[in-house]
Amino acid sequence: MIAPPDAASVSADSFDLMFLVMVVFSGFIVLLVATLVIVFSIRFRSGSRANRHEVRRLVSREVEIAWTAATAFGAMFFFWFASAHFLRHAAAPVDAMEVHVEAKQWMWKATHESGARELGSLHVPLGRATILYMNSQDVIHSFFVPAFRLKQDVVPGMTTTMWFTPTRTGSFHLFCAEYCGTGHSTMLGEIVVMDEAAFAAWLEARPGSGSLVDAGRVLFTEAGCASCHDPASAVHAPDLRGIYGRPVPLADGRIVTADAAYLQDSILQPDRDVVAGFDPIMPNFSGLLDEDEVAGLVAWLRTLERDDG
Amino acid sequence: MTLEAEAGRGRPGQTLPRSYLGAGHSVRSWLLTTDHKRIALLYLGTITVFFLIGGSAATLMRLELVTPPGELVSADTYNRLFTLHGVIMVWFFLVPAVPATLGNFVLPLAIGARDVAFPRLNLLSWYLTIAGGVLVLASLLLGGVDTGWTFYTPYSSLYSNSYVTLAAMGVFVNGFGSIATGINFLVTIHTQRTRGLTWMRLPLFVWSLYAVSIVMVLATPALAVALLMVVVERLFDLGLFDPARGGDPILFQHIFWFYSHPAVYIMILPGFGVISEVLTCFARRRIFGYEAMVFAMLAIAIFGFFVWGHHMFVSGQSYYANLIFSFLSFAIAVPSAIKVFNWSGTLYGGHITFEASMLYALGFIGLFTLGGLTGLFVASVPIDVHVTDTYFIVAHFHYIMVGGMVTAFFAGLHFWWPKITGRLYSESFARLAALLMFVGFNFTFFPQFILGWMGMPRRYWSYPDDFQVLNVASSLGAVILAAAYLLPPVYLGLSLWRGKPAGDNPWDATGLEWTTSSPPPRENFAVLPVVDTEPYAYHADRVEPHRRGDASHRAVSQSSDPGDDA
Amino acid sequence: MTRGLHEPFATLPRQREAATFGIWIFLATEMIFFGGLFLGYAVYRHEYPAGFAAAGARTDIVIGTANTMLLLTSSATMAAAVWSGRAGLRGNTLLALVLTALLGTGFLVLKAVEYRNDIDEGLVPGSPAFPLSEPGAELFFGYYWAMTGLHTVHLVIGVGALGLTAWRLWRGRLAWRGTGFLHVLGLYWHFVDVIWIFLFPLLYLMGR
Amino acid sequence: MQRDQDDGRGLWLKAGAVWIALGVVLAATVAGAYLAPGPLRLPLALGLGAVKAALVVVVFMELFDSRASTRIAPLVGALFVALLFALSFADEATRQEMPRSFAAPPERAVQDR
């Protein structure tokens, strides 16, 4: 399907207009050059009876000056056109909602002003300016939301910002656009735009909703565990059903029992005790999940065993 | 030992000396040669090998991208593939392709010189390229590099656990080859022009080599120091860009792009020169606006250094820098546009024939125009914010580098092949390859503009399903393109055995290189030529347009050429 | 046949001009090569003036100044070598070349002592014994090592070239008359000296 | 190739004179680093460095005895270093001032190789 990207922010609409103007202009120039080349090629092909008089120096200089001036004018026009748009959208409104975004190989984590956190997704209210303050814990990442026509690198050692006002509800792609290592193309997320009321309700329900097990179940999907550990996943990762309490053979030959401590270590220091037959590809979640969240995940894994019998 | 001292040199009427190809057949006579023509052939062999390696990597990537999930290769392998493709194609194919290969062969001939100013340095350049290539290939054999050709810190310096040091050193060493070539060409053009060949009589190909040498000499050291800083950071933990110690990863990008943006012009400027030679020859027309073309090339070479920041609009650099670099990037559109219009103007009033070189040249104008115009998109900050690091950028720079430079390389290779080898290739096969390349190229890369606009990020091993249709289209085009690239080695290779003798000047071209025999003798000219006209005097009496007719006419005129026995 | 004349040149003066032009272009590339490191230094100094002052005060000003004097002296002897060569004074040239090489070696010896002291004091980025806590101090020493290290590599190459040249001159294997070879070598040597002239105040005199 | 009849005393004197000048400027540079008022130290040190460099470049390297094209080469080199500095500082000096991190300080990741 070749469909134009969703336009879901204020700047996306003005981007689309500007893009269209440039496409039309470029199309015109391509047509002009192609016409010149093709018409001249046919008319002045060897053996044609076209009139081939010498182009006088004076004329050729005038033509030269004319198209140099025209190009210079065009270039400056587009600079003004683009920069005016850029400056209009440079500064965020003072009342913008703040969200802090942490990037890490290879996941996104957002913290709302209320303290609510989410992994791999970002919920924002419709029609309200939102500003993101972004930090990276390791390498350079880039926060890219095609539907907003916005992208900003997230650089370790500094804070970068990005702001937008969503204009459509729905769920949109979030990509990492700066190459960041093995999992770069799986460093995905979604931006969920909700109307104000739904967002308020979502935020309300966010911290400590339900039991530890429920939190763990939600997190198992949201933090991206399921994308690899689901039995149907294409990634080669251990199946976690019934893992709790079982002996696990490790790559270095040892055998350990998958108790709570082992599961917790595997989430926070995945490189330490790799299961035999699997590559050490699991990302390190330390710094992204707090103690409660890890505890929730472990609790959820425990129930998995019970369900399986 | 002076050349003048050799007995019997330079006397008119004497039988022509043996061709440079016959001046020795041992391996040693090639590996220790200081003849610019032989060094050019060494480069030709080298870049062909690297082109095949880089092309294979590209083919594998396109195959992987046929389906949305990563199925063919692992993510790590894919990352190593695109890094390898970039590193090899940029530094071991595109940068040496026209300057060190065609330029090396043609430059001394085109200015009526016996050789470049420093022949031994010229050979050293080749050895540096080879040494760099060996290091890069060694890193490939050990397990590859996964940083992307841009080597961004801190990923390259602190996080990547691949063979970054080895590959970076390879590029570093190769860079010195590039610098040596640049110095050599600058000094050659300054000191070795033959009598009467004033600056404003230089063919545009020579001017383009002059401009590109300036860029090579001034830009490459920045790459060298950027990579050196990454290497010492990896080896000695000096932390030059380490954010944990207060370092600034964006600083690396400034130094890197101070080289790598001008490097785009290293890769395209010589193409401008080649196209100017080919167009004028097959249109039988003086170049439209010679002076403007010269100044445009020099302007591009110099202003190419002012615009690097447009690669960094979303990097976290300051708003003010974004505006400054955006302005400067728009400014550089002007000289590029001058060139396109002047090439079109050159066709006006010509006697145009459509040999393979000419087809490549005409294709170049179209592809470069599209590549250049999409440059306006990335020069505008708000548009670049959306399209940068997506397939739009991939398509944009492939239009410039493959659609532009590779097309120009083939145009030049076909144009000078009879001079290099003394043989004519099959014109119909060559035309077929040219058309196939044009079609295959557009088929491969035009869909990528749309993909980027839809938001598909680059360097993705797997991708959401919405992008599949265009990815399949692009991969299909890549098959055509790959097939087209395999054609020239076949028919050009065949021409060495089966090709008709070319004669000294098969295209009736005006450059000095066409006044000596094909292939040229070791010392290029029996008597150094003297120049008394401006270049591209196709309108002059001695090359009346109607003299060039169909191929049969040319064959007759060749058979009367004496002394050609290559 | 003129000794030292190479293809494709017809006359020695022309070849000399070309060689001079070539080496000057090379030196221009070297300026940009070092320029990248100077830029890094400048950017971080702009960002962390206090850290850079504190770190700059820890370098060894005695050895630094002595080394600067050694290099300045070697530049004078190098110039004497080039001028002697031009005047056709073989003995004088040889003497001046050897002196220059010795002064360069002296610099390297002092630098080695200084490096050892630096390591003993833990003035190495990432060292557990790194004595300074100001932000940016580690970056200063990162650049200190990178810049002086790169300069030292250039100097080693220079001393090697000087030694080789002196030996070839002594054995009569060098076409030194009129070829401009000594001048080219001298230009390289002086350039390495000029780089140090700027490194010295930036690395040793800040924060005194 | 005419041979100079003197034993080269002239050239040693010339080199010695420049050497003394260089030594004096070096002494001034070191003294300035301790004595000059703070904000002036860097420009003073670099200015005196430029004087030393100019002595070496003009007298020892004989830049101005060369052909015009040769003289331009180092000038262009210097100009492009200036360009690198100017445009990089156009960014570095005008960055938005913002705290380095809004979260916990980034920890060093454990590196494999």
What is the CATH classification number for the domain harbouring A218? 1.10.760.10
Interface contact flag, B386 A15, Cβ < 8 Å: yes
Facing D56 at nearest CB: one of C47, C75, C84: C75
Question: In chain B, what are the domain boundaries?
Answer: 27-558
In a domain, A81, yes or no: no
Least Cα separation, residue B354 to chain D (angstroms): 41
Facing D29 at nearest CB: one of C38, C79, C201: C201
All residue ranges of chain B with pLDDT < 70 are: 1-17, 540-566
Q: How confident is the model at residue D1, as a pLDDT?
A: 41
A25 & A153 share domain: yes
In a domain, A161, yes or no: yes
Interface contact flag, D90 B320, Cβ < 8 Å: yes
Chain A residues closer than 8 Å to D103 by CB = 100, 102, 111, 135
Residue B200 tokens read as: 């404003």
Facing B321 at nearest CB: one of D91, D106, D112: D91
CB A238 within 8 A of CB A278: yes
Q: How confident is the model at residue C107, as a pLDDT?
A: 96
- Amino acid letter at B450? I
In a domain, C92, yes or no: yes
Closest CA to B214 of A161, A125, C28, D25: C28
A156 touches chain D (CB under 8 A): yes
Q: How confident is the model at residue A56, as a pLDDT?
A: 66
Map chain A to HEC letters: CCCCCCCCEHHHHHHHHHHHHHHHHHHHHHHHHHHHHHHHHHHCECCCCCCCCCCCHHHHHHHHHHHHHHHHHHHHHHHHHHHHHHHHCCCCCCCCEEEEEEEECCEEEEEECCCCEEECEEEEECCCCEEEEEEECCCCEEEEEHHHCEEEEECECCCEEEEECECCCEEEEEEECCCCCCCHHHCCEEEEEECHHHHHHHHHHCCCCCCHHHHHHHHHHHCCHHHHHCCCCCCCCCCCCCCCCCEEEECCCCEEECCHHHHHHHHHCCCCCCECCCCCCCCCCECCECHHHHHHHHHHHHHHHHHHC
- Give the nearest chain B residue to A31 (CA atoms): B366
In a domain, A84, yes or no: no
- By residue range, what is the domain housing residue C151? 32-205
Tell me, what CATH number does A136's domain have? 2.60.40.420
Interface contact flag, B118 C22, Cβ < 8 Å: yes
Measured CA to CA in angstroms, residue D18 lies from A68, D10, D30, D48, D57 at distances of 52, 13, 18, 15, 12
Q: Is C19 exposed, middle or buried (0-12, 13-18, 19+ CB in 10 A)?
A: buried
CB B399 within 8 A of CB B368: yes
Chain B residues closer than 8 Å to D80 by CB = 218, 305
Least Cα separation, residue C207 to chain B (angstroms): 20
Mean pLDDT of C120-141: 89
Facing B539 at nearest CB: one of A47, A54, A188: A54
- Amino acid letter at D25? V
Mean pLDDT of C14-37: 94
- Give the nearest chain D residue to C200 (CA atoms): D49
Sign of CA dihedral A254, A255, A260, A264: positive
In a domain, C13, yes or no: no
A233 & A188 share domain: no
Q: Which pLDDT tens digit goes with each residue over D2-47?
A: 444 567 888 999 999 999 999 999 999 999 999 888 888 899 999 9
Which residues, including other chains, have CB under 8 Å from residue A84's CB and lie 6 or more apart? none
Least Cα separation, residue B283 to chain D (angstroms): 36
Q: How confident is the model at residue B9, as a pLDDT?
A: 40
Separation of CA A132 from chain center: 13
In a domain, A106, yes or no: yes
| CATH number 1.20.210.10 given to B27-558 | yes
A195 & A220 share domain: no
**Digitized pLDDT (tens) for each residue of chain A, 309 residues in all:** 577 888 999 888 889 999 999 999 999 999 999 999 999 999 888 888 877 776 666 677 888 888 889 989 989 999 998 898 888 888 888 888 989 899 988 899 888 877 788 888 999 999 999 999 898 989 999 999 999 999 999 999 888 999 999 999 999 999 999 999 999 999 999 999 999 999 999 888 776 445 667 777 777 877 778 778 877 777 778 888 778 778 888 888 788 878 777 887 888 888 778 888 888 888 888 777 776 777 778 777 777 754 443
Number of domains present in the structure of chain A: 2
D58 touches chain C (CB under 8 A): no
In a domain, A56, yes or no: no
Which residues, including other chains, have CB under 8 Å from residue C180's CB and lie 6 or more apart? C15, C16, C19, C20
- Amino acid letter at B484? A
Tell me, what CATH number does C42's domain have? 1.20.120.80
Separation of CA B142 from chain center: 29
Interface contact flag, B362 A78, Cβ < 8 Å: no
Chain B residues closer than 8 Å to C31 by CB = 221
Residue linked to tokens 């004033």: B198
Which residues, including other chains, have CB under 8 Å from residue A181's CB and lie 6 or more apart? A105, A106, A139, B79, B146, B155, B159, B160
Q: How confident is the model at residue A1, as a pLDDT?
A: 59
A38 & A130 share domain: yes
Separation of CA A203 from chain center: 22
Instruction: Identify the band that residue D107 occupies on the pLDDT scale cut at 50, 70 and 90.
Output: very low
Q: Residues of B numbered 64-93 whose beta carbons fall under 8 angstroms of chain A's beta carbons: which are they?
A: 69-71, 75-76, 79
Number of domains present in the structure of chain C: 1
Closest CA to B58 of B486, B487, B478: B478
- By residue range, what is the domain housing residue A217? 212-308
Closest CA to B94 of B59, B129, B127, B118: B129
Q: What is the rounded distance in angstroms from the CA atom of residue C205 to the CA atom of residue C196? A: 13
Which residues, including other chains, have CB under 8 Å from residue B194's CB and lie 6 or more apart? B111, B112, B113, B512, B528, B529, B530, B531
Chain A residues closer than 8 Å to B249 by CB = 140, 155-157
Say whether B186 sits in a helix, a strand or coil. helix
Q: What is the rounded distance in angstroms from the CA atom of residue B74 to the CA atom of residue B92? A: 26
DSSP code for B527: S
pLDDT at residue D108 is higher than 50: no
Closest CA to B459 of B11, B51, B41, B83: B83
A203 & A222 share domain: no
Domain boundary pick from A163, A183, A207: A207
pLDDT at residue D77 is higher than 90: yes
HSE, CB side, 13 Å, CA atoms: give it for residue C51.
Answer: 24
